Structure formats: structure tokens, C-alpha cells
Structure 1
Amino acid sequence: MNVEQERQSYYEDLRPLNLAPLWSVLKRLVPAEPVPAAQPWCWNWEDVYPQLLRAGSLISAEEAERRVLVLENPGLPGKSQVTDTLYAGIQLILPREVAPAHRHTQSALRFVLHGTGAYTAVDGEKTRMSRGDFIITPFWTWHDHGHEGTEPVVWLDGLDVPLVNFLRAGFRESHEEKAQSSTRLIGEAAARFGSGMLPLNCDRSSVTSPVFSYPYARSREALHLLARAEAPDPHLGICLKYVNPLNGDWAMPTLGTALRYFPRGFSTRPYRATESLVLVCVEGRAQVTIGQGPTFSVGPNDIAAIPGWCAWTVQAEEDTVFFSYSDRPVHEKLGLLREQRD
């Protein structure tokens, strides 16, 4: 018996003992650099929206609990993941519908893409939804969605589902009522925490921002004012992150959200980081190149997935605004974040 045969016999003897040789898998377990399973991809609004309307004719929001089309990365078929660590779905609610109240340990964000008249209620407070608004559903808070308007409303759901599921830390509970009762005034959280002032005796320990609605009109004004005051970063453009006013940290503990502006004719230099990133075009049109290709032509409501450690660039054909979310806060807190700027 030669050496290779002896080794194979040895490995076979290890299996019944639930043992395995590290040397046969070491380079896969500890790679030279990140190797994401997710692929660069882009979902076009003109493809997605008709399918959402079709779903609206086939199943009600109450039946579905959440009438959502999941953005499935082609590198992760059947796993309900937009990248290796992030979830994304596009949700539709129609006039007079209610998406029933529930809560879960996964943190969720809503970014409104289309329509008016809908609302989200979080722990007894309603917030109206307008295009471009960023709305937080903190982990383990009761939330439901409703529609008091006349046209379809669509938003992006972004969650840390893959991260929570990997840790086997997911819990979920349905509310005893279809919709929770309002116990706070509309705008109360923003008045208490989002006006540049804080209650003197407020609890500063919350890891999620108590301001759960960030209106686009206000955020856009800040972004464009800064664009007139300073030159864009050569890699990131004008980039502002949404923050928790209690501590200045990210607005959410596991999802880093930001608004980015690229002036017409501006081209970024290649940038990559260990974070997984989702870009949502709010205004304008740009060419987004990810890795060695492909290049996607991205316009309003189009959504691009950028896997971790994939270099990407933006070439703005018009003044362009992106909303983005990523797993960057997790990388930062664990000391894993690495960036490369070419």
C-alpha cells in the first residue's frame, strides 16, 4: 500500500469518529482573501414592478402576511439572500390593506420606492411613508403596515436575516390583533430625539436609533448642500451615514445605512471593502461596474448587489443619488473591516 492509499484509509477510519484532518480543508477555511458566494447583480425596476402588481392580483397582504418578492442573488439560489450576509425584498401594499402586526429578532429597514398613502406603525407610533424615506423597524418591536391612500405603495425591505440565522438567534411572534393600537402621537419620536435636542433624562443605551423615520426631503437637502460646499471623495462621492442621535453610531446595530451623491460626469476610483453592500438608485442614472465586470446601467429604483471584497466604481451620467445599506457595523465592531482604495 502506497502513502496515498494509507492516507485515504486513515481518513476513512476518522469519519465514524466524527474527526477530520484540518490540513485537507485549511485553505478553504482560512482563505488568502474573502471569496463570496454572492455574485454582482442588478434588479431593474421595470422588470420588478409589473411582477409586484401581478402578485397584488393573486394574493392579499393579509394572506401573505408580507407580500414581498425576494431579491435572490444568482450565486445563492433558493437562500433568500441578496448577498452572503444580507436580505432584500420588495414589498407591495394596496389601498385599504393591512399587513398584520408581528415582531422578530431580525432588524429591518424600509426604503420607500413608489407611491404615497401608506404607513408603518412601530411600537404604537405611525409614520407616513413617502418616496425616499428611510424607516427603521428595530429588532423585537411590534410593527404593521397599512394603506390609507389610493395608489400602490412599494418599498425595499432590508434585513440582517442571514446573519441572525447563521447565529441561530431568530425568534418571531404574531400580534394578537391584526394591527396594533396607536399609543403615541405621529412624529413623537422625531420630536423627542430628531430635532437636535434630547430629553435631559433619556436612556442612551439603545443600540438602535429611537428616530425610526428619516424623511428623504431632509436628508437630500443636507446631501446637496454639502455637495456645493466640498469636493466629492474620489472613491465614495458625497456620502452621509444615518446615525443614532443617542451616541453618533450607525442608526442600526447590524445594518449600516447611508445616502450617497455623485455629480453628473463624476467617476469614482475603484473601492472595495469586506462589507457586503446594496445600492438603491433614488435619482439620476449611472454606470456601476462591480469587480472585473459586469457594468450595470442603473436608474431610479434599480437595485445593485455588491458582494464583499468586490471592487466597484460609479460613473454618473446625471446627478445621481443612491441609498445604501451594508453589514459594515458588524465588521467594524468585530475588527474585521478592511478597505482598499485604488
Structure 2
Amino acid sequence: MQSREEPTHEVKEARRAFYTRLDARNTTPLWEVMSGLVTREPASKCLPAIWHYETVRPLLMEAGALITAKEAERRVIVLENPGIRGVSQITQSLYAGLQLILPGEVAPSHRHAASALRFVIEGEGAYTAVDGERTRMHPGDFILTPSWTFHDHGNEGSEPVVWLDGLDVPIVNLFDSSFAEPYGEESQPLSRQEGDALARFGANLLPVEYRSGSLSAPTFCYPYERTREALAWLAAHGPVDDVHGVKMQYVNPASGGYPMPTIGAFVQWLPKGFTGAPVRATDSTVFCAVEGRGTTTIGGQSFDWGPRDVFVAPSWLPVSHRAETDSVLFSFSDRPAQKALGLWRETR
């Protein structure tokens, strides 16, 4: 490779003066910044990280004693990626947090441009209501709140309920397209029978190899009981992939595509002793362990996980899973948005 000729002192000074004049007019020379703008491979500032539930849960309960769900509007501890602290993001495109609602509380109804998912971590007796339809929450359930739909949460049970929130807030804010609006009352009136969407759409999963396009989803819940049954059936009747184990994609029943235009969600079963081959993809992925114990290696760093732990794999870092016991992992990423823009890549 031919080496670049070192400019003379006079040329360096002339360039420095020129760049100063450019800066005064809010311009900059592309040749000085191109290597950082157009990288040969993804170069995320995000870092691999894990949040062990046993260490975060006491902080959630402390928050429950310090502020009510009504005062906070949403009592959430945000999971901030250590590489980009201060911006309330777990990846460059996604927000994630753990939300707590205590017995007898209601998180007031509001709506916003960002789409949201809820993955229930702990507890029984809570519900989420979206545009007049209420859905009961059970551990392992995956529940959608589509963009610009009024939603509130309540806990009519006797124990704390915690779920993982995933939102596309960073994508919405990238486009400067954020809107939000309170409903005006704490709870919205119910206009549909509870569970109507569940009865209409069933489990709504597909084997991950049958990926397709994406449209916005209607309001519904993917119950973990049916999800687990689908995983067990596939594990018994199909091959176990050497990278993902048995992996399924949550789908929009109306289109067969992703449940939200910007966020895809997946669930996978890893049999005891499974040691997966590495894979890397351009979509940074947030994982939550549902069952079992294991280790995931991300970019050379190993993270031991157990039930309810959350961890993140940034873009284009090699990821491989090892299962100590039969295990289930839930995950979500911005894959639909990347696919819609023709950007998504994956390599084994």
C-alpha cells in the first residue's frame, strides 16, 4: 500500500487557516472526518453488559417506597448501556427499563409516538389496557403497545409486578418526531371484552427461518404458556440450529411480519449442554433469560445469566450461547427497521 506523503509545515498551516474559515461558516472538510462517518464495519459505542435481576430488584422495591406510580407516571429504572451513559438508551436505537407496579396502584393512561413492548418478569394480578382493551399479565407474557395508543397499567393483585419495557424512543427522537399526550383520566374505559385479541390471534409465533416483512400490529398479548408449548413442539420435531438452538419470531397475525415496524421480538430454547457457534448481526439485541442458566459470550466477554437477568449484545460483535440447563431466552432488536432500510446483515 502506497504511503501518503507528509505535507510540509507551510501546507499544514495553510490548511489549518482554511479549516478555521470553514468552521466560522458552519462547514467542515469531509476528508478530515470521513473515516469516522463511513466506517468499514459497524463501530458501536455501546458495550456488552448485563443487569442481574437479584441486584436490580432491591432498587426497584426501594423506588416503590419512595415514589408512587401516579407521581412517577411510569415507575421505571432505566437500563443504560455503560458505553453511552446519560442518554437513557440500552442500544443506539432502543430504550429498555424495568417497571414496577405495586398492589392497588394504577399507572395513569397516556399515549406517545414511540412503540412499546412489555415482557413480564415477575408477579401476578396486574394488567395493561390499550385503546379500551385490558390484558392480564403473567410471567413470560409478551404484550404490545403500538404507537399512539392510549395505555394504562394497574395491579389488582396482592404482590408486586415487574416487567421489562422495550421502546423505540431513540429512533423516534432521531427523526425529531416525538409526541405525547395524557388521557386526562387515570384509567380509560373498556370498550372490548378482556382477552378478545388473544382469542382472535392465538400464540402468533413462527420458526425464525420464516422471517418476513413488518406492519404495525393490533393490540394483543402473546401468552408464555402457548409460547412454551410451541418451543417444546419444535424441539421435539425439528433440528436444533447450531447457533440459535430452537428460535422463533413473534409475528403480527394480520400480516405475518414483525409485531412492530421498528422492533422485532424472538424467543429461543437452548437444550442442556448446548454450545452455540458464534454469530454476529447488525441489530444490537437485548436478551432476557426466562428459564435456565447459561453463559453468553459477546465480543470475547462472557456473561453468566440466570432467570430474569437482562443482557445486551451490541452491533456486529460475535455472540454465542452456552446452556448449563434447559433454557429459554427472550430477545428484541431493531431488525425490522434495519430490514426496511436494506441495512441488516448477519454472518455466522
Q: Could you state the TM-score of these two structures normalised by the residue count of structure 2? A: 0.93
CA RMSD between the two structures: 1.2
Name the residue aligned to 2:20: 12
Q: Which runs of 5+ in 1 are unaligned?
A: 197-205
Name the residue aligned to 1:325: 332
Report if the CA contact (8 A) 1:194-1:211 is conserved. Answer: no
Name the residue aligned to 1:135: 143
Q: Distance in 2 between matches of 1:183 and 1:211?
A: 13
Of residues 206-215 and 270-279 in structure 1, the stretch that sits farther from structure 2 once superposed is 206-215
Name the residue aligned to 1:260: 268
Name the residue aligned to 1:46: 54
Per the alignment, in what secondary structure is the counterpart of residue 28 of structure 1?
A: helix
Per the alignment, in what secondary structure is the counterpart of residue 171 of structure 2?
A: helix
Shift of 1:195: 7.8
Shift of 1:211: 4.7
Q: Distance in 2 between matches of 1:84 and 1:272?
A: 17
1:204-223 equivalences in 2 (<5 Å): 207-223=215-231
Q: Distance in 2 between matches of 1:211 and 1:230?
A: 31
| Closer/same/farther in 2, CA of residues 124 and 306 from structure 1, 3 Å limit | same
Report if the CA contact (8 A) 2:132-2:192 is conserved. Answer: yes
Report if the CA contact (8 A) 2:281-2:346 is conserved. Answer: yes
Instruction: Give the AA of the match of 1:321.
Output: V
Q: Distance in 1 between matches of 2:195 and 2:171?
A: 31
Per the alignment, in what secondary structure is the counterpart of residue 159 of structure 2?
A: coil
Aligned partner (choices 294, 301, 306) of residue 313 of structure 2: 306
Report if the CA contact (8 A) 2:203-2:223 is conserved. Answer: no
- Paired residues, number: 331
Does 1:181 find its partner at 2:189?
yes
Report if the CA contact (8 A) 1:273-1:309 is conserved. Answer: yes
Report if the CA contact (8 A) 1:115-1:153 is conserved. Answer: yes
- The Cα offsets for residues 290-312 of structure 1, whole Å up to 9 and x where unpaired, read as 0021x111000000111111111
Per the alignment, in what secondary structure is the counterpart of residue 25 of structure 1?
A: helix
Per the alignment, in what secondary structure is the counterpart of residue 332 of structure 2?
A: strand
Q: Which runs of 5+ in 2 are unaligned?
A: 1-8, 205-213
- The Cα offsets for residues 236-266 of structure 1, whole Å up to 9 and x where unpaired, read as 1111000011111011111000111100001
1:79-118 equivalences in 2 (<5 Å): 79-118=87-126
Shift of 1:190: 2.2
Q: Distance in 2 between matches of 1:156 and 1:146?
A: 15
Name the residue aligned to 2:4: none
Instruction: Give the AA of the match of 1:252.
Output: M
Instruction: Give the AA of the match of 1:186.
Output: E
Shift of 1:192: 3.1
Shift of 1:216: 0.2
Q: Distance in 1 between matches of 2:147 and 2:60?
A: 26
Q: Distance in 2 between matches of 1:218 and 1:194?
A: 8
Q: Distance in 2 between matches of 1:141 and 1:91?
A: 19
Instruction: Give the AA of the match of 1:121.
Output: A
Q: Distance in 2 between matches of 1:177 and 1:143?
A: 11
Identity %: 53
